Structure 1
Amino acid sequence: MAAPVKVLVVDDSLTMRALLSGALERIPGVAVVGSADGADEARTMCEQLSPDVMTLDVEMPGISGIEYLAEIMEKRPMPVIMFSTRTEAGAEASVEALRLGAIDCFPKPKVAVAAEFDKILAKLGKRIKAAKGAAVKGAATTKVVPAPPLDWNGRVLAIGGEAAATQALFDLFGSLPANCPPTVVVQHLGAGLAGTMIDKLAETIAPRIVLAEDGMAVEQGTIYLAPPGDHHVVVDGWPNGTLRMLPRDPVAGERPSISILFASVAKAAGAEAIGLLLGADGEDGDAGIRALQAGGSYCIVPAEKRVDGYVLSRRIAAQLVPADQLPRSILKLCSK
C-alpha cells in the first residue's frame, strides 16, 4: 500500500484549521501531519514533519500567504494549495499565487461549517494526491522578452491545463510575439478567476488576450481564454475559424473541456493544429490528445515526472523538448 500524502494545514483561524484538517482526514490516502497558525510556525513544522503538500491561507496577518508562498518557492519549493476569500481582492491574490507556483486555489467556504468543506472535498483530494511528488519551481526572476515578429504559417494553437499550469502559461505567453499564432486556451480555473487572469496577463504580454465568446473569429495575434461555467468552447472551421460555445454536459467532470477543444481543432485543422497539454492531472485532455494524434496534428504533452520537459509528437515521430525551449519549439512549428 502506498504511503499516505502528508499534508500541513496553515491558517490563522483555529476554526478553519480544525474544519479543514477534519475534512482532509476523511480523504483516503491523505494524512494531516500538523496545523500551523502562520508562517513562523509553518517553517518549523516543515523542517520537523517534511510534509508532501501544504494548504495555505492567502489572508493571514503579519506575513501574508502570498508573501510566505513566494518564500517557499524561492527557498524550499513544494506543492502548495491556497485558500482565498470569494472577493475581487481574493481573486487577484489567487491568480498571483498560481503565477508564483501554487498547485491550485480554492475559495474559502462562505460559512465555516463541515458541510461547506464537503462540497469541495472530492476535487481537493484529487489535487492533493496529484500534487505529491510533482515538480514545482518558483516564478521566473528575470523578465521574459517577447520573440521577434512571427512569419506565420497558418497553424492554430490549442492549449489545455489545470490551474497549476498558470505559471507555465505566464512564461509561455510572455515569450510570444505580438503577432502570435491564434491561440485558444481551456484552463480549469475556479469561478471568477478567468477575468482576473486576463487582466494580469494583459499587463505583461505582447499579444492581445480576451475572454472567449461565441462567434469570435480566431485570428493571429490573439489569445482566447475560455470562461469556466456552462459551455464548452470549440474551433469551427479552419482556416478562418470561428469560436463556438456549446452548452453540453461536463466531460470527465469539467466544463469547458480540454478534450472537446482538442478534438475540435483536430477535426477543423488536422495537420495545421497544435495541441499543448500543460500538466492536466485528470482524465480531461487524454481523449483530446488521442483525437489530435488520429487527425495528424502536432501534440505536446508533459514528459514523465522525472524529466523536466515535454514530448513533441506527430504520428510516429517524437522528440523531447526541454521546458525552457517550449516557446521556441512552438514558434518554430508556427513559422514558415
Structure 2
Amino acid sequence: MAAATKVLVVDDSLTMRALLSGALERIPNVVVVGSADGADEARSMVESLHPDVMTLDVEMPGMSGLEYLAEIMEKRPMPVIMFSTRTEAGAEASIEALRLGAIDCFPKPKVAVAAEFDKILAKLGKRIKAAKGANVRGASKKKAQAAAPLDWNGRLLAIGGEAASTNAMFDLFSTFPANCPPTVVVQHLGGGLAATLIDKMSAEIAPRIVLAEDGMTVEQGVIYLAAPGDAHVVVDGWPNGRLRMLPRDPVAGERPSISILFASVAKACGTEAIGLLLGADGEDGDAGVRALQAGGSYSVIPMENHALGFTLQRKLATQPVPMDQLSATILKLCSR
C-alpha cells in the first residue's frame, strides 16, 4: 500500500482548522500531520513535518494566503489547495491563487459545520491524492510577447486541463497573436470562476476570450472557455463549426468533459485538429486523446515527468516538446 499523503492545514480560524482536519482524516490514506494559524507557524511546520500537500486559507490577517502562496512557489514549490469565500472578491482571489500555482481552490463552506465539508469531501480527496508528488510551478515573472500574426492553416485547437493548469494557460495565451487559431477550452474550474478567469485574461492577452455558448460559430482569433454546469461542450462540423451544449451525465465526475470535447473534435475535424492536454489527472482526458489519435489528429500530452515538457503525437509518430517550446509548437502546427 502506498504511503499516506501528508497534509498540513493552514487557517487563522481554530474552528475551520478543526473541521477541515477532521474531514481530511476521513479520506482513506490521507493523514493530517499538523495545523497552523498563519504563515509564520506554517513555515516551521513545513520544515519539520515535510507535508506532501498544504491547504491554505486565502483570507488571513498579517501575511495573506496569496502572499504566502507566492512565497511558497518562489522558495519551496509544493502542491497547495486554497480555500476562499464565495464572493466576487473571493472568486478574484481564487483565480489569482491558481495563477500563482495553486492546484485548486475550493469555496469555504457557508456555515462552519462538518456537514458542509462532507459536500466537497470526495472532490477534495481526489485533488489531494492527485497532488502528491506533482510537479508544481509558480507564475511566470517575465511578461511574454505575443507572436507575430498567424497565417492560419484551418486547424482547430482544443485544450483540456485541471484548475492547476491556470498558470500554464495564462502563459500560453499571452503568447498567442490576436488572430490565434480558433480555440475551445474545457477546464475543471470550480463553479463561478470561469467568468472571473475570462475577465482577468481579457485584460492581458491579445485574442478575444469568451464564455462558450450553444450555437456559437467557432472563429479564428477567439478562445471559447466552457463553464462548469449542466452540459458538455462539443464542436459540430468543420470548417464553419459551431459549439453545441449536450446535457448529459458527468464523465469521471466532470461536466463539461475534456474527453467529450476531444472526441467531438476528432469526429468533426479529423486531421485538421490539435488537442492539448494540460496536466489533467487521467480520469478525464485520456479517452479523448485516444479518439484524437484514432481520427488522425495531433495530440500534445504531458510527459510522464511533466517538468520536462510534453509529447507531440500523431498516429505512431511522437516528438518531445520542451515546456518553453509549447506555444511555438502549437502555433507552428496551426500555420501554413
User: Which residue of the partner structure matches residue 220 of structure 1?
Assistant: 220
TM alignment of 1:68-147, pairs within 5 A: 68-147=68-147
Equivalent residue, structure 2, for 1:208: 208
Q: CA deviation at 1:306?
A: 6.2
Aligned to 1:260: 260
Q: What pairs up with 1:178-193 in 2 under 5 angstroms?
A: 178-193=178-193
What does residue 56 of structure 2 align with? 56
Aligned residue for 1:158?
158
Aligned to 1:314: 314
Letter in 1 for 2:85: T
- Which deviations, in whole Å up to 9, do the C-alpha atoms of 1:244-285 show, x marking residues without a partner? 111111111111010110001100000001001111114111
SS in 2 for 1:143: coil
Question: Which ranges of 4 or more aligned residues in structure 1 deviate by more than 2 Å?
Answer: none
> Counterparts of 1:291-330 in structure 2 under 5 Å?
291-305=291-305, 307-330=307-330
Q: Report the 3-state secondary structure (helix = DSSP H, G, I; strand = E; otherwise coil) of the residue aligned with 2:7.
A: strand
- Is the 1:134–1:305 Cα contact (8 Å) retained in structure 2? no
Alpha carbons 1:80, 1:103 under 8 Å: kept: yes
Q: TM-score, normalised to structure 1's length?
A: 0.99
Task: Kindly provide the amino acid, as one letter, of the partner of residue 194 in structure 1.
Answer: A
| Structure 1 CA distance for aligned equivalents of residues 4 and 227 of structure 2 | 35
> What displacement does 1:299 show?
0.5
SS state of the match for residue 216, structure 2? Answer: coil
- Note the aligned Cα RMSD (angstroms): 0.8
Equivalent residue of 2:96, what SS?
Answer: helix
Matched AA of 1:296: G
What CA distance in whole angstroms lies between the structure 2 residues aligned with 1:10 and 1:283? Answer: 29
Segments of 5+ residues of structure 2 without an aligned counterpart are: none
**How far apart, in 1, do the equivalents of 2:290 and 2:314 lie?**
11
Give per-residue Cα distances to partners, 1:287-324, cap 9 Å, x unaligned: 11111011000001100126520010000000110111
Paired with 1:27 and 1:320, the residues of 2 have a C-alpha distance of: 37
**Matched positions, count:** 336
Q: Which residue of 2 aligns with 1:274?
A: 274
Q: Which amino acid aligns with 2:314?
A: R
CA–CA separation in structure 2 for the residues paired with 1:161 and 1:278: 5
Structure 1 residues 306 and 283: CA distance shift in structure 2, 3 A: closer
Measure, in 2, the Cα distance between the counterparts of 1:122 and 1:227.
Answer: 21
Separation in structure 1 between the aligned mates of residue 94 and residue 244 of structure 2, nearest angstrom: 28
User: 1:33 is aligned with what amino acid?
Assistant: V
CA separation of 1:316 and 1:130: change in aligned 2, threshold 3 A = same
What's 1:286 paired with? 286
Distance 1:312 1:123 in 2: 30
Letter in 1 for 2:46: C
Instruction: Give secondary structure in 2 for the equivalent of 1:321.
Output: strand
Contact 1:6 1:53 in 2 (8 A): yes
Which consecutive unaligned segments of at least 5 residues does structure 1 have? none
Paired letter, 1:173:
F
CA displacement 1:221-265 (0-9 Å, x = unmatched):
000000110111010000011011111111111110101100011
3-state DSSP class of the match of 1:148? coil
* Deviation larger for 44-53 or 10-19: 44-53
Check 1:274–1:306 CA distance in 2 against 1; reply closer, same or farther (3 A cut). Answer: closer
Q: Deviations over 1:185-241 (max 9, x none)?
A: 000100100000000000100000000011111000000000110111010000011
Contact 2:8 2:54 (C-alpha < 8 Å) held by counterparts: yes
